[in-house]
Amino acid sequence: MRFGLDRFHELDLQAIEEGWPPGWRMDHREREQNRQTVLSERLNRDLWVFAYGSLIWDPAVHLTEYRYGSLKGWHRSFCMRLDGGRGTHERPGLMAALDAGGHCDGVVFRIPADLVDQETQFMWRREMFSGSYVPSFLEIETPQGPVEALTFLMDRTNSRYMPNVPLDTAAGMIALAEGSLGPNFAYLDSLVRHLDDLGLEDEGMRILHNQAGLIRASAQNSRSLKETPDTGP
């Protein structure tokens, strides 16, 4: 997930072929202005980043330190609609984001001061690709003491925001959606496996994973039965 501007050109061509509307992603200048605004007076200081999803196992930036971290007032939720990547317009999926309420256990990592400007350019290309997050600095509790960390919160005014999706609906979307980056379920599965590896609790994610897994297995079994040749008399 560490890519240059050339990747945007490839995706723009793909978007044209698939009939995506104008403004489907964040403009380069707008994204860079957002980065400069958020990181104003912080580009020459060590930067802590809170990871709750794929940043846990694939930060795609150079860093020097990891810690366990806990954020109060926000929780991990599959509340962002995916029309691409791991979903399509016809069968959208869901992506994890931070929504208001509760708490979230994850990790924080530190980018050294001399690399912050360079590495956050890659981070913004990834996390602010569609402009669906609000980058904010929040206090994260760690075993070594609190740190103020960059945290990508769900933009609740964004058209991709899907609050309070019923469990069965969310599980069904994640179980069946698939896009250019692969099955939506693979993301949820990787998330739960990495939370387990780190000993981090998130009962909601495990319930969602179990439900989506059952739906996915049922769909695969049904597809296999339809594809099995009739060998009867």
Annotated catalytic residues are 127
Can you tell me the distance from the alpha carbon of 15 to that of 125, in angstroms, rounded to the nearest whole number?
17
Alpha carbons 16 and 37: distance in angstroms, whole number:
31
Query: Which amino acid, residue 141?
Result: E
Q: Kindly state the tokens that stand for 63.
A: 């860093």
Contact by Cβ (8 Å): 97, 225: no
Q: Any idea which residue has 């989506």 for tokens?
A: 212
In contact, 164 and 151? CB cutoff 8 Å:
no
Task: For residue 58, count CB atoms less than 10 angstroms from its CB and return exposed for 0-12, middle for 13-18, buried for 19 or more.
Answer: middle
Strand 178-179, strand 133-140: pairing: unpaired
d(CA 71, CA 154) in angstroms, rounded, equals: 14
Q: Is residue 119 within 8 Å of 46, Cβ to Cβ?
A: no
